[in-house]
Amino acid sequence: MAQSFSLLILTLFFAHQYVCILIHFSSDFTEGYFTNFRYSPKIFHHTHHHEIKKPYISVHALAKDLIRLNFEVSAYVRIRCIYRLVNKQTASIETNMTAILNTRFLNNSYENPFMNASGVHCMTTEELDELANSKAGAFITKSSTTLERAGNPEPRYISVPLGSINSMGLPNEGIDYYLSYVLDRQEKYPNAPAIFFSVAGMSIDENLSMLRKIQDSEFNGVTELNLSCPNVPGKPQVAYDFDLTRETLERVFAFFKKPLGIKLPPYFDFAHFDIMAKILNEFPLAYVNSINSVGNGLYIDVDKESVVVKPKNGFGGIGGEYVKPTALANVRAFYTRLRPEIKVIGTGGIKSGKDAFEHLLCGASMLQIGTELQKEGVEIFGRIEKELKDIMEAKGYTSIDQFRGKLNSL
Ligand SMILES: Cc1cc2nc3c(=O)[nH]c(=O)nc-3n(C[C@H](O)[C@H](O)[C@H](O)COP(=O)(O)O)c2cc1C
């Protein structure tokens, strides 16, 4: 009974507003502010939900809202709200408002910018297959060394409320394992998006010999050289040694002609951003990926009065929410300092569509997810895509290029 009554009111209301809706459809006003009007404190101050959500709207609730709207807001606002309310029923009319996440990166097309971060969910061919079959736009292999490595003793990865700490010690199956996987996949699925391949040698020579192998192979994807992992004991990792970084890149680009990006650790000083960007701008790099884990954090279990990972007396790389501001700063710093041909991949602290949006605003082209993928599994890609699309639609963006890099200053 209540349902029929609501439907009746709804019908009358639609008839009354029909003309207004038509006017709206013909307008090019796309700020999309009212997608979530029921949660907007500006209209309904009795709600405390400010976050962006697309609520399920029952017919009854819809009718109640329409009546309330009629009294509470201006005619113009009403038109916007009605349009949004009926968009479930008239989805087809909204097709040209729908945000798409399609991303061009190094002459390759991806359905969306999301991928795993190297080291997470990419150690075995089974995990790589799962990524390939997930909603991720692309995927990357585990950083490989020449030979397989067992890595450090366990426990070596711990998930904590705001992120993770790890001291894995680069366990991996060796370059041949991953190379044969990607070559095989390339042959089987020639039209699939280009794959990313990560290498992390323990010395320059090891890196050079692995890159030679990739150069000489049929691999037609993108190679990522991880310059942010331990090198010679007692020396900093390569990318914290600016001279060694330049020397490495000189030797790499003397023979390596395929698209190559580098994975960088976080920097915390403007002088370091400047010096590093100046070096990188000298080379035909395809991209930089910022950031690797924030190095050598310590997480403590107060009950046990103990560290939580075994290697290195508990010191380990930090990922997740802890590192997002550092990651955003590094993405922004390199985006604004590098030649525009050198793209930036944003990695660090991405767990929601909002985090992804922030990385894109800072200038990221692709987005990698580590800690949160480890926590949620590959389902995260569907969720985060939807969240990013919802934010874009609420803001009236239909493609990422409309806001990428356009972070406002005050
Ligand atoms: C378990 C684990 C293993 C990782 N292994 C690698 C690796 O092999 N190569 C690499 O470049 N980064 C590695 N990383 C760093 C991640 O790729 C990523 O840069 C970092 O975790 C920050 O992203 P997040 O905040 O989404 O976790 C690893 C991270 C974790 C948590």
Express each pLDDT in 207-240 by its tens digit: 999 999 999 999 999 999 999 976 667 789 999 9
Task: Supply the CATH number for residue 221's domain.
Answer: 3.20.20.70
Per-residue three-class SS string for 326-356? HHHHHHHHHHHHCCCCCEEEEECCCCCHHHH
Give the CA angle between residues 322, 327, 331 to the nearest 5°.
170
144 and 204 both lie in a single domain: yes
Residue keyed to tokens 């050079």: 208
111 and 233 both lie in a single domain: yes
The protein residue with its alpha carbon nearest to ligand 1, atom 10, reads 118
Predicted pLDDT at 286? 98
Give domain status of residue 142, yes or no.
Answer: yes
Q: What domain range includes position 323?
A: 103-402
Please compute Rg for the chain using Cα positions.
Answer: 25
The protein residue with its alpha carbon nearest to ligand 1, atom 23, reads 348
138 contacts 110 by C-beta, under 8 angstroms = yes
Nearest alpha carbon to residue 328 among 360, 373, 370:
360
24 and 117 both lie in a single domain: no
Specify the long-range contacts of residues 80-83, CB closer than 8 Å, at least 24 apart.
80/24, 80/33, 80/34, 80/37, 81/34, 81/37, 81/43, 82/14, 82/17, 82/20, 82/21, 82/24, 83/21, 83/24, 83/25, 83/34
197 and 313 both lie in a single domain: yes
Give domain status of residue 410, yes or no.
Answer: no
59 and 170 both lie in a single domain: no
| Separation between Cα atoms, residue 234 and residue 49, nearest integer Å | 51
201 and 324 both lie in a single domain: yes
Which atom of ligand 1 sits closest to the CA of residue 322?
A: 25
The protein residue with its alpha carbon nearest to ligand 1, atom 29, reads 119
Give domain status of residue 245, yes or no.
Answer: yes
Give tens-digit pLDDT for 383-402.
999 999 999 999 999 999 99
Q: Which of 308, 322, 355, 371 to mutate to test the pocket of ligand 1 (most atoms within 8 A of CB)?
A: 371
Give domain status of residue 92, yes or no.
Answer: no
Show the tokens assigned to 140. Answer: 């990357």
Give the Å distance between the CA of 143 and the centre of ligand 1: 10
Nearest alpha carbon to residue 47 among 59, 57, 38, 36:
38
| Separation between Cα atoms, residue 352 and residue 374, nearest integer Å | 14
State the total domains in the chain: 2
Give domain status of residue 74, yes or no.
Answer: yes
Which atom of ligand 1 sits closest to the CA of residue 289?
A: 19
Give domain status of residue 97, yes or no.
Answer: no
DSSP E strand boundaries for 46-192: 103-105, 108-110, 114-116, 157-160, 163-166
121 and 234 both lie in a single domain: yes
121 and 193 both lie in a single domain: yes
310 and 191 both lie in a single domain: yes
Q: Which residues are within 8 A (CB) of 8 and not within 5 positions of it... i.e. 6 or more apart?
A: none
Amino acid at 217: S
Predicted pLDDT at 323? 98
309 and 374 both lie in a single domain: yes
Give domain status of residue 147, yes or no.
Answer: yes
Residue keyed to tokens 């997810």: 369
Give the Å distance between the CA of 279 and the centre of ligand 1: 24
Predicted pLDDT at 229? 79
- Any residues with Cβ below 6 Å from ligand 1, and which? 117-120, 142-143, 157, 164, 166, 168, 170, 198, 200, 226, 263, 292-293, 319-320, 323, 347-350, 369-372
405 contacts 340 by C-beta, under 8 angstroms = no
Q: Is 229 a catalytic residue?
A: yes
* pTM for this predicted structure: 0.80
Predicted pLDDT at 42? 30
The protein residue with its alpha carbon nearest to ligand 1, atom 28, reads 119
CB neighbour burial string for 369-407, b if at least 16 within 10 angstroms, e if fewer: bbbbbbeeebebbeebbebbbbbbbbbbbeebeeebbeb
Give domain status of residue 95, yes or no.
Answer: no
| Separation between Cα atoms, residue 101 and residue 97, nearest integer Å | 13
Residues of the chain scoring pLDDT < 70? 1-96, 230-232
Predicted pLDDT at 97? 77
202 and 247 both lie in a single domain: yes
CB neighbour burial string for 257-269, b if at least 16 within 10 angstroms, e if fewer: eebbbbbbbbbee
Show the tokens assigned to 293. Answer: 């884990």
Which atom of ligand 1 sits closest to the CA of residue 350?
A: 26
Distances, alpha carbon 360 to alpha carbons 12, 321, 349, 378, in Å:
44, 17, 13, 21
281 and 366 both lie in a single domain: yes
Predicted pLDDT at 41? 31
Which sign, positive or negative, has the C-alpha torsion 246, 247, 252, 257? positive
